[in-house]
A and B are shown apart, each in its own frame.
Chain A
Amino acid sequence: MIDYLINHYNYWVSILLMMAGLYIVIDHTNLIKKLIGLNIFQTSVFILFISMGKVDGGTAPILEQGYSSFSNPLPHVLILTAIVVSVATTAVGLALVVNINRCFQSIDEQEIEKIELEEE
Chain B
Amino acid sequence: MISEANHDLQMAIYASMLVPIAGALLIFLCARFRGLIELVFVGTALCLLGVTISIVNLGADIFHQSISLINIIGSIPIAFHVEPLGILFACVASGLWLITTIYAIGYMNANKEKHLARFYMCFCLAMAAVMGIAYSANLLTLFIFYEILTLSTYPLVAHKGTESAKQGARTYLGILISTSIGFLLIAIIWTWFSVGTLDFSVGGIVEDKLPNNLLMLLFALYAFGIGKAALMPFHRWLPSAMVAPTPVSALLHAVAVVKAGVFCVLKITVYIFGIDLLDTTGANSPIIWVATATMLLASLVALQQNNLKARLAYSTISQLAYIVLGAALATSTSIMGSSLHLATHAVGKITLFFCAGAIYTATKKTLVSELNGLGRIMPFTFTAYTIAAISIIGLPPLAGSWSKWFLVDGAITADRLIIAIAFLVSTLLNIMYLLPIAINGFMSKPAYHSGTIQEAPFAIVMPSCITAGLCLALFFLLSYVYDFLLLLPLR
Question: Direct A–B touching in the complex (beta carbon < 8 Å)?
Answer: no
